[in-house]
Structures are given as C-alpha cells and as structure tokens.
Amino acid sequence: MTATDTELVVQCQDIYKTYQQGPIAVHALSEINFDVHRGDFICLSGPSGSGKSTLLNMIGGLDVPSSGEIYIDGEEIDELDKGELADMRLHKIGFIFQAYNLIPVLTAQENIEMVMQMQGIKKHERHEKSLTTLKEVGLEGLEHRKPPELSGGQQQRVAVARAIVSQPSLVLADEPTANLDSVTANKLIDLMLQMNEQHKTTFIISTHDPMIMQRAKTLVKLHDGKIIDRIQQ
Amino acid sequence: MNSFSLIMALAWRNLWRNKRRTSVILFAMILGIWAMVVTAAFMRGMALQALDDTINNLTGHIQIHHPKYLDDPVIDNTITMSATLEKALTTDQVLHWSSRIRVPAVVNSERDTSGVVLVGINPKQEAELSFLKNAIVQGQYFNSNNDKGVIIGKKLADNLETKLGKRIVLMTQNKDNEITDRGFRITGIYDTPTEGMETGFVFITTRSAEKLIGSNQLTSEITLLTRSLDDVDTTLGQLKADLPDLDVQSWKTLQPFTQLIVEMYGDFQYIWHLIVFLAMSFGIINTLLMTIFERTREFGLFQALGLKPRFILLQVWIEAVFMLFLALIIGNLVSWLTVIATGDGIDVSAFAQGMEMAQLSNIIPFIIISEDLMLANFIVISLGMLTGLYPAWRASRLVPANAITRI
C-alpha cells in the first residue's frame, strides 16, 4: 500500500439512526464505527432491513444520522448546509443505484457529461472525457442512445461511467446488480474492480449479490443496524 | 452557468416527454389566452364604438349651451354667437366646431306623422364634425347653407311611407311660441347603425331653421371636437373659465351611459382576465405536480448527483415558463387571426333593440389595442410564473434519500 492508499476517505463515528414510525422508534443504525481508505473496495452485506442502504445514504449525505459524525475526506458532513452537501456530492461522490438512475431525456453521453457540466467543466473537455469513459466501460458507439434504447446492463455501465468520469474520492453503489442477469452482473463487477484498480477509486457497495461479496476486498456484514463482522478478503 | 444551460435543455426536453399531456394543457392555455384577448377585443370594440357613436352622433367631445337649455330645450333657451364665444373656440386644441339650432318638432308626410328633433345645421361646419355627410345613402348632403331641402333617416322615411324627392311638413314653435310649419322636399336620406338616430333626427340648414322659427342668429348648441380625447378635459376647463355664463359640458356628463360603458369595460377586463387565468392556473399547477410526482426519483437522483435544490426549483419553473411562452405565442396568433377573420365586426342585429338601449350599433367590431394585449400577456406571464413557483418549490424540497427510493 502506498501512502495515498492509507488516506481516510470515510470515517463514521458512533452513527445512530432512528426512524419514528407512529409511536414506535425503529433503530435503523446503531453504534456504527467504520473507516474507509482510498482504494478500498468494500461490500456492505446483510439481510433486508439490516441498514445497508441507510448507511450508504448517510455516507452520501442523502440522509442525516440521528447522532454521530461522518467525515468525508476529513470534512464533517453534518456541519454542511444543503448547498454545501450538494457541492460535496458533486465533487467527491459518485452514485450508482439499483435501477432507473439515468435521465431518460438525455443520451448516454449527455448522462455522463451531466455531472461534469454541473462541475463547470468546459464542453470540449467533458466531451472528450465522456467518450473515453464510455469506451472504458465498453459502450463505444452507443453515446447517442437514450436510456430506453439501452439494455439494463448497458444502462448500469452508463451509470458506472457517470459515477467515475470526474474521478470522485468515493463511489457509492446501492444494489447495482440487483436487476441484472448473472452474466451482465459479472461484467459490471469486473468493470467496477477494473476502475478500482486503474483509478484507485474507492467503492462502497451495498448488495445481496454473493458474486460481489466474494470479489470485494473487504466485506462488512450488518445485522439489525449494527456491524457484526468485517472481513478482509 | 453550466448548470443553467443543463437545466434549460432538461426543461425543454421534459416538456415534450409526455406529448399528449403537454398538448392538452397547452391547448387549454391557448384557449384561455384566446378567450382573454378576443373578449378584450370585443369589449374594447364595443366600448370604442359606443364612444365613437356618441361623439359622431351629434354629441362631439364638448358642447356649449344656454344654462337652461338641457333642462328645457326650447327656443327661448338659446345663445347668440358673440366675439367672446368665437374667440374661446379659436384655440389649438379645438379641431372643429359647429353651431346648431335644435328644437322639438313634428314631421308630417302624406301618410303619417312622427315626433322628431329638428336640427338646423351649418353644412360646412357639420361636415367636419358629425356622421351626417358620410351617412347619406340616397340623394345628397346640403350643398350650402342656402339649401332648402331636408335630410331624414331611412327608417323614418319607411315609417312615414315617404321617399327621396317627396315633400314633408315640419311643424314647431316659433320665437313667439306660436305653432309654425313649412314644407320641405326630401333631398337626402341617411342610414346609420342606430335605429333611434334615424327615426329621431331630421336635418335642415340653419338658414332654413331661422326662417321656420322666425329669428336670426339663434344657436341652441355649439358642438366641438378637440384634437384628441386626451385634450377634452383641459379644453373643457379652459372653456368653462372663458365662458362662465354658459353651460359647458363634455361627452362624459352629456352621455353618462357611454362613460359608464367605457369605465365598466376597464374593470370588467381585469375581472375577466383573472377568472380565465384562475382556471388556467389550476391546469398549470396540476400538470406540474403530476410531472413532479412522476419524476420524483429523477429529482432525487439530481440531488444525489450534486445539483443544488435551487436548480431543481429553476428546472421545474423554467418548464412552466416554456409552457407559458409557447401558449402565449400560439394564443396571441390564434386571437389575431380570429380578429382578422371577423372583418368589420360581428352582426348583432338580432338583438337590435337591446343594443339600441345600450347605445350600441348592430355591428360590433373586434379591436385589439396594444394596452389590452399587453395586459392579457402580462397577467398570464406574471401570474403564470408565480403559479409555477409552487410546484417547483415542492420539487426542490424533496429529501433525496426518500425521493430516490420512490417507485
């Protein structure tokens, strides 16, 4: 490991999340203490309702913990307002969701360029980068197709390309293979591992998929909102 | 700026994402704008026509009378043209003026009799001032003040069962309060859209009137036109100051019903625009809320990817603005074509008696003036933009974690 590899990208300290469902308090996350280093490829596993997606949302700043602190690149996200959180997500985090996560009125290339456009990157530069990334994810020649004209696997590849194109510190993927057949899912995992190797992109993936669990560098098991095990593979 | 160009593109493309829904709401908005503009044109046409008819049908912009004349329009209550009076009328703001003798009279033909208002006019002055010269449909207008003929309305000629070239007898009171009469040959017949005018007014020259009444230099009223309607109030003030012994009034007080129509039109226009817009705004809000409901995941995704809430607000709002502008462009165009298609106006002669009571003629023109068009467009744009803010605000307030998981 290099010095950069040991850099902390995510720090979760004593995270609790409680939802109020009528009179009942549901403890979605408890006592979460969790560090992620640059270049990690972490898989969050556990049964439905174990808190995987909730933890991912907290790390991504899409939801706020009831107590505890989360640091991204050393910055405590609880102290950021909505606009600053949006900025942090824009510049530091890439998201891949289970499905329906492309904008249907934009082409594959425009979907990829969208994040760079929001970042204020110049047209020709984002054009070049998006084409290179499309090539990397094996979608060369499909740049002008809109999401409905792409298969589920191709759509997820576009989502991966969009997540990594601006080289964020962290990519968060929530059940990225859930809607894919095993062959397409395997290719997607290959792609994410390749990105992790090539660009040292940090991945945190929430999944039920045993294929991802087997191939992740670190497996974090959750149960009833608590981390019950952390395995280096 | 880059986020802005992105959301502009997104707003435009999203507008056409559900073509049927966008088309339906656009159609409804175009219909609303059409209703606003065309109704405004109709009402404006009605008001301006009422005003034009009032001014052209002898009232003019301002009239000068003996102080008692309007209460008792008899020969005793007349005025005499004086140097002071003529000087007061010789100003830049007075475009034309005409003196008239106006007395109640009875007209007899071979077949019938009718009560009328006999108006003695100076042909040259009157030609510049009122409708008469241009309304002659048979025979001709008076050649000079020496003309001995009489001009009557078409409808009166029908009622009296007489025609051009026939003689009629006019009977009135002379200056000594004696009944006097005199035969006149019909040298002209006029036709106006207002039936009451045609049956109620008979015209001879002032010279003929003086001979009939037996007195010279009598004037019942002086009617004048100012250079524009805007000059009426200042000219009125000036004349009142110059002629303190005479009764000087503008069309507003001489014809209060016309004034009421003109004023009512302005208020009605605002109310009508607001009613139409209210109906339209429900369509806008409903469409945008449906859009937000359908695209909740997308808005969550945008936030997850780092688009600031204010740009989400802007995206939905710009979608509403695009819709508004499209509807305005098409709505105005359709309204304009409708107004062109109506030509001189619509014929409402089926309601002639009602129109007569409202001092309106049987053909109502559609008149679009820039102020009315701007008012309708301003209401749609300004209130439409405000209306679009609510759904846009709702979209920007979505919690990304909840929105992204919405099925």
Question: Is residue A43 within 8 Å of A219, Cβ to Cβ?
Answer: yes
Which pLDDT does position A4 carry in this prediction?
Answer: 47
Polymer length of chain B: 407
What is the average pLDDT score of chain B? 88
Phi, psi angle pair for B345, to nearest 5°: 135, 180
The two tokens of residue A79 are 């102290």
Residues 299-338 (B) with a CB less than 8 A from some CB of A: 300-301, 303-310
Question: Is residue B63 within 8 Å of B249, Cβ to Cβ?
Answer: yes
| B139 in reach of chain A (CB within 8 A) | no
pTM exceeds 0.90: no
Give the minimum alpha-carbon distance from A1 to chain B in angstroms, rounded to a whole number: 30
Which chain A residue has the Cα nearest residue B299? A103
Within 8 A by CB and 6+ apart from A213, the residues are A43, A45, A207, A219
Give the minimum alpha-carbon distance from B21 to chain A in angstroms, rounded to a whole number: 16
Kindly provide the ipTM of the predicted complex, given to two decimals: 0.86
The two tokens of residue A46 are 């556990």
Residue linked to tokens 């290719």: A187
The answer to whether A120 contacts B308, with C-beta atoms less than 8 Å apart, is no
Q: Distance between CA atoms of B275 and B265, rounded to whole angstroms? A: 15
- What do you get for the CA distance between the two ends of chain A, in Å? 15
The answer to whether B301 contacts A103, with C-beta atoms less than 8 Å apart, is yes
The answer to whether B13 contacts A121, with C-beta atoms less than 8 Å apart, is no
**List of chain B residues whose C-beta atoms are within 8 Å of the C-beta of residue A93:** 306
* Portion of chain B with pLDDT greater than 70, in percent: 97
**List of chain A residues whose C-beta atoms are within 8 Å of the C-beta of residue B400:** 62-63
Give the minimum alpha-carbon distance from A159 to chain B in angstroms, rounded to a whole number: 11
Is B42 strand, coil or helix? helix
Q: Distance between CA atoms of B209 and B103, rounded to whole angstroms? A: 9
Question: Is residue B89 within 8 Å of B224, Cβ to Cβ?
Answer: yes
Q: B94-108 and B113-121: which strand pairing?
A: antiparallel
The burial of B305, by beta-carbon neighbours within 10 Å (0-12 exposed, 13-18 middle, 19 or more buried), is given as buried
Q: A41-45 and A218-223: which strand pairing?
A: parallel
Q: Is the pLDDT of residue A2 over 70?
A: no
Largest interatomic CA distance in chain B = 101
**List of chain B residues whose C-beta atoms are within 8 Å of the C-beta of residue A91:** 306
CA B273 to chain CA centroid, Å, is: 17
Q: Distance between CA atoms of B392 and B317, rounded to whole angstroms? A: 5
A interface with B, Cβ–Cβ < 8 A, is 53, 57, 60, 62-63, 82-83, 86-91, 93, 95, 97, 100-101, 103-106, 114-115, 117-121, 162
B306: left (phi over 0), alpha (psi -120 to 50) or beta: left
Which pLDDT does position A152 carry in this prediction?
Answer: 86
Residue linked to tokens 């792409």: A150
Within 8 A by CB and 6+ apart from B207, the residues are B120, B145, B146
Q: Distance between CA atoms of A32 and B274, rounded to whole angstroms? A: 57
- Summarised one tens digit per residue, pLDDT across range B320-335 is 899 999 999 999 999 9
* Portion of chain B with pLDDT greater than 90, in percent: 43
- Tally: H helices and E strands in chain B: 15, 12
Q: What is the mean pLDDT of residues B303-330?
A: 91
The answer to whether A105 contacts B2, with C-beta atoms less than 8 Å apart, is no
Question: Is residue B26 within 8 Å of B323, Cβ to Cβ?
Answer: yes
Which chain B residue has the Cα nearest residue A116? B2
A232: left (phi over 0), alpha (psi -120 to 50) or beta: beta
**List of chain B residues whose C-beta atoms are within 8 Å of the C-beta of residue A88:** 306
- Summarised one tens digit per residue, pLDDT across range A84-129 is 889 999 999 999 888 758 999 999 999 999 999 999 999 999 999 9
What are the beta bridge partners of residue A42?
A: A204, A218
Which chain B residue has the Cα nearest residue A85? B306
The answer to whether A118 contacts B405, with C-beta atoms less than 8 Å apart, is no
A and B: number of Cβ contacts within 8 A: 74
Q: Distance between CA atoms of B117 and A86, rounded to whole angstroms? A: 83
The two tokens of residue B181 are 């009469």
- Summarised one tens digit per residue, pLDDT across range B263-275 is 888 788 888 888 8
Q: Name the DSSP letter for residue B97.
A: E
Q: Name the DSSP letter for residue B59.
A: I
Helix locations, chain A, DSSP H: 52-59, 82-92, 108-119, 123-136, 152-164, 182-199, 210-215
Of B213, B218, B232, give the one whose Cα is nearest residue B59: B232
Q: Which of B298, B306, B399 sits opposite A90 (nearest CB)?
A: B306
The answer to whether B6 contacts A117, with C-beta atoms less than 8 Å apart, is yes
**List of chain A residues whose C-beta atoms are within 8 Å of the C-beta of residue B322:** none
Question: Is residue B33 within 8 Å of B380, Cβ to Cβ?
Answer: yes
The two tokens of residue B35 are 């209703």
At residue B194 the predicted structure's pLDDT band, cuts being 50, 70 and 90, is: confident
Which pLDDT does position B52 carry in this prediction?
Answer: 85
- Summarised one tens digit per residue, pLDDT across range A201-214 is 899 999 988 888 98
Q: What is the mean pLDDT of residues A188-200?
A: 87
The two tokens of residue B227 are 């250079």
Identity at B13, one-letter amino acid code: R
Which pLDDT does position B356 carry in this prediction?
Answer: 67
Is B199 strand, coil or helix? helix
Question: Is residue B62 within 8 Å of B250, Cβ to Cβ?
Answer: yes
Name which of A57, A88, A110, A175 to mutate to probe chain B: the one with the most chain B Cβ atoms within 10 A of its Cβ. A57
